[in-house]
């Protein structure tokens, strides 16, 4: 089959599918079934997601546009201009919706809890308080600038808010532009004292950028202000490959490379401009776009605040026990019934163990690692670190293990986006504690989440392996759904040992016995697993594939899934985010169903299940999504699950997701996601709530 622009209905562009995910997150902030402050959190997540999307994906498209304007999307055949136009149009609509949602949430909140006050609509005593506060605490600390021949246009920092002021001199009839940074040695949130409130619980606030905007006439007191507004720019994250390579050539190691790259990133070109709505928005856009070299499609006009990060600070002012109606009910992770209080090492040596976060406690994994650090029979600990918490227990235990004389090898991926600086700091701390630290591979990110504990008992060597679908991060383990598998399977242990040895000598793994690792083994093996189901279907046998992951965009896998659907294989995809495959198309994808689960916890686990009957099913867990970057450009580990008890637990887990009619949204043949709400209250099935009882 030849895929052309006439066949767009078969596929969804990756970037548009990504924005569809952000839309699903945004719509959760409208869901009245969710507590108010949790809805506010969803809105904040949406804003942050959009910034990251432009810093990474959109900036890459603009760079590709410079190199090759005719480059086509591999699935939809859309050229770069068409993709950027679609992104801009869709983002404009999303911001229009997010504006409405913000003010709806603030209206609901202002009745009893949080009120974002309008300086122009407050009582006199409140106004005088804010004016005095500005004069005493803000005015002395700001650094305004006029733009003219002697004062060039300033460098604008990424994601920081500025005030734009259009001025006319009182003496000379000349127009000038003023720029005021709204960030400095002062807090962004200014609270109105409680003695101005009738409700002691209610918190009234104003943002410092609104205060600076309002009192801008005091700053430019020799000018008349014609117009004013707030704006924010978002800069791209990625350096041009040529500069990237030059830095690598000039540096002695990857840590030095990343330190320089992080400094260079601060100066990268803008990719998005947001301004608050004002009377002469067109003039502001024209002026700033010219100064920042931005196109019309990169500019967005909003009514709501340009950065919603302040919301999390305000929410923390309310105790969830005092205001239980504002938050999700607190749920504590549990210890699985089949795990006792004896040594975790002894238990793993007897049987495989599976933890399911955040439903199971991560403390059990810490115990395993901590016991390995203390166990005299443990000779080495090897682990990959991609993202860890700022106060990481895992890192602390690894440092203790090195102090205890263990051979500790840590693969730290310095190229983990948005966590580079944190990883540089941890890498340095680990090195100083005596751990051997390696910064990954030259051309591949180390995204696998694996731990190998080697234990020598008399003449025997035992391997305890841990394979995870998510990071060794105690913070995200409380809000991301992930699986942590621990085993003493010798073949898996030797495969993982081989993986570490390859990384240590700068090569990728080409042979395994049990695990499927990328970039060499995973993708061909995965395609073959699909082929096996196709063979069953063509011979009249039941055939089924269930996949749970974050994203599906790998062209080869998509085409093979289409072949499987055409052969009669029943395919169920649980894809949280990007899904470039459109299901339900007659004679093409009619045997494929796609759902997305958006809920209290971020769905993050990756599970691949092939076969229809229990005896027939082959089950794997992994940190890998079905994207080309995971299958071809990263080191990933896909681990088979063979223990009957754990296999049954994962099958039941998948069944819970497929039964959900509260959090699930189904992807239709038209490319739209629709809620699967139950018609009867008795039939409500929330998979995340049910998983706490699994």
For 517-576, what is each residue's pLDDT tens digit? Answer: 999 999 999 999 999 999 999 999 999 999 999 999 999 999 999 999 999 999 999 999
Task: Look at 654 and 341; give whichever has higher pLDDT.
Answer: 654
Q: What is the C-alpha radius of gyration for the chain, rounded to an integer number of angstroms?
A: 27
Residue 268: pLDDT band by 50, 70, 90 thresholds?
confident
The reply to whether 390 and 534 lie within a common domain is: no
Per-residue pLDDT, 242: 45
Q: In which band, very low, low, confident or very high, does the pLDDT at 424 lie, cut at 50, 70 and 90?
A: confident
| Total tally of structural domains belonging to the chain | 4
Q: Domain with 379 in it: what CATH number?
A: 3.30.870.10
Is residue 413 domain-shared with residue 400, that is, in the same domain? Answer: yes
Q: Provide the token pair at 35.
A: 């507590």
Residue finishing a domain among 107, 141, 175:
107
Mean pLDDT for the chain overall? 91
570 and 487 part of one domain: no
* Mean pLDDT confidence for 2-14: 65
CA–CA separation, 597 vs 550, rounded Å?
Answer: 10
Does some domain include residue 549? yes
Contact (CB, 8 A) for 662 and 684: yes
User: Residue 202 in 3-state DSSP?
Assistant: coil
Residues 146 and 130 placed together within one structural domain of the fold: yes
525 or 258, which is more confident: 525
pTM, two decimal places: 0.92
pLDDT at 417: 72
Is there a domain that residue 39 lies in?
yes
Q: Which residue has the higher pLDDT, 625 or 4?
A: 625
Query: Which of the listed residues 491, 511, 531 is the one where a domain comes to its end?
Result: 511
pLDDT for 572: 98
Decide if pLDDT at 197 tops 70. Answer: no
Residues 94 and 152 in one domain: no
Structural domain of residue 687, as residue ranges?
517-691
CATH code of residue 97: 1.20.58.310
The answer to whether residues 127 and 250 belong to one domain is: yes
| Cα separation, 274 vs 279, whole angstroms | 15
Q: What amino acid positions are annotated as catalytic residues?
A: 447
Examine the domain organization and report whether 102 and 120 are in the same domain. Answer: no
* C-beta neighbour count of 217 within 10 angstroms: 13
| pLDDT band (50, 70, 90) for residue 393 | very high
What pLDDT is attached to residue 425?
Answer: 82
**pLDDT tens-digit series, residues 113-131:** 999 999 988 889 999 999 9
Select from 518, 511, 519, 463 the least CA-distant residue to 491.
Answer: 463
d(CA 268, CA 287): 20
pLDDT at residue number 420: 77
- Percent of residues, the chain, with pLDDT higher than 90: 75
φ and ψ of 275, to 5 deg: -130, 155
Q: Is the pLDDT of residue 509 over 50?
A: yes
Q: What is the pLDDT of residue 200?
A: 66
Is the pLDDT at 247 greater than 70? The verdict is: no
d(Cα 593, Cα 665) in Å, to the nearest integer?
Answer: 11
Considering the domain architecture, whether residues 588 and 652 belong to the same structural domain is answered as yes
Domain boundary among 294, 315, 334: 294
The yes-or-no verdict on residue 409 having pLDDT over 80 is yes
Same domain flag for 548 and 675: yes
> Does 92 map to a domain?
yes
**Residue 300 pLDDT greater than 60, yes or no:** yes
In this prediction, residue 8 carries a pLDDT of 55
Rounded to an integer, the average pLDDT of 636-664 is 96
């Amino acid at each position: 089959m030849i895929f052309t622009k006439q066949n767009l209905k078969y596929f969804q562009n990756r970037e548009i599918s990504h924005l569809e995910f952000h839309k699903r997150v945004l719509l959760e902030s409208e869901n009245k079934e969710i507590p108010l402050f949790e809805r506010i959190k969803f809105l904040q997540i949406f804003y942050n997601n959009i910034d990251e999307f432009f810093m990474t994906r959109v900036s890459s498209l603009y760079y590709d546009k410079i190199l090759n304007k005719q480059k086509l999307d591999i699935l939809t055949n859309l050229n770069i201009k068409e993709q950027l136009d679609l992104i801009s149009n869709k983002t404009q609509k999303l911001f229009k919706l997010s504006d409405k949602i913000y003010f709806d949430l603030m209206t609901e909140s202002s009745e009893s809890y949080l009120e974002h006050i309008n300086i122009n609509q407050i009582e006199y005593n409140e106004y005088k308080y804010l004016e005095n506060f500005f004069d005493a605490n803000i005015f002395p600390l700001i650094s305004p600038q006029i733009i003219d021949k002697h004062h060039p246009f300033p460098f604008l920092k990424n994601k920081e808010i500025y005030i734009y002021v259009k001025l006319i001199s009182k003496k000379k009839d000349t127009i000038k532009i003023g720029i005021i940074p709204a960030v400095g040695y002062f807090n962004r949130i200014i609270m109105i004292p409680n003695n101005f409130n009738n409700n002691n619980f209610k918190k009234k606030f104003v943002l410092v950028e609104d205060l600076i905007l309002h009192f801008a006439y005091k700053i430019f007191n020799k000018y008349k202000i014609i117009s004013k507004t707030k704006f924010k720019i978002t800069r791209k994250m990625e350096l041009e490959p040529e500069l990237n390579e030059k830095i690598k050539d000039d540096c002695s190691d990857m840590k030095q490379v990343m330190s320089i790259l992080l400094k260079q990133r601060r100066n990268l070109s803008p990719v998005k401009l947001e301004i608050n709505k004002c009377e002469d928005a067109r003039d502001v856009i024209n002026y700033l776009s010219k100064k920042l070299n931005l196109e019309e499609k990169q500019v967005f006009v909003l009514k709501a605040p340009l950065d919603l990060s302040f919301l999390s600070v305000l929410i923390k002012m309310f105790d969830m026990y005092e205001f239980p109606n504002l938050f999700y009910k607190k749920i504590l992770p549990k210890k699985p019934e089949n795990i006792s209080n004896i040594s975790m090492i002894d238990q793993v040596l007897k049987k495989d163990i599976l933890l399911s976060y955040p439903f199971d406690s991560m403390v059990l994994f810490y115990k395993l690692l901590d016991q390995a650090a203390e166990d005299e029979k443990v000779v080495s600990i090897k682990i990959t670190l991609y993202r860890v918490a700022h106060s990481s227990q895992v890192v602390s235990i690894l440092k203790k293990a090195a102090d205890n004389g263990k051979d500790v090898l840590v693969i730290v991926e310095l190229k983990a986006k948005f966590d580079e600086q944190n990883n540089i700091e941890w890498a340095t701390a680990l090195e100083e504690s005596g751990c051997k630290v390696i910064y990954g591979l030259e051309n591949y990110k180390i995204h696998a989440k694996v731990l190998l504990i080697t234990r020598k008992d008399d003449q025997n060597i035992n391997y305890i392996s841990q394979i995870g679908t998510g990071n060794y991060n105690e913070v995200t383990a409380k809000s991301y759904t992930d699986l942590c598998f621990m085993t003493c399977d010798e073949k898996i242990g030797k495969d993982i040992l081989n993986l570490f040895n390859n990384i240590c000598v700068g090569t990728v793994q080409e042979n395994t016995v049990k695990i499927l690792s990328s970039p060499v083994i995973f993708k061909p093996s995965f395609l073959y697993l699909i082929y096996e189901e196709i063979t069953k279907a063509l011979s009249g046998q039941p055939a089924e594939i269930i996949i749970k992951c974050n994203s599906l965009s790998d062209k080869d896998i998509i085409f093979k899934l289409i072949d499987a659907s055409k052969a009669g294989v029943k395919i169920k995809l649980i894809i949280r985010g990007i899904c470039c495959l459109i299901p339900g198309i007659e004679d093409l994808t009619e045997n494929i169903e796609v759902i997305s689960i958006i809920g209290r916890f971020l769905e993050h686990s990756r599970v691949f299940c092939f076969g229809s009957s229990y005896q027939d099913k082959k089950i794997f867990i992994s940190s890998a999504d079905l994207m080309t970057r995971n299958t071809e450009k990263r080191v990933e580990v896909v681990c088979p699950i063979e223990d009957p008890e754990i296999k049954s637990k994962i099958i039941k887990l998948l069944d819970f997701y497929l039964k959900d009619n509260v959090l699930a949204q189904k992807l239709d043949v038209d490319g739209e996601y629709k809620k699967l709400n139950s018609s009867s209250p008795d039939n409500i099935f929330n998979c995340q709530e049910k998983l706490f009882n699994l």
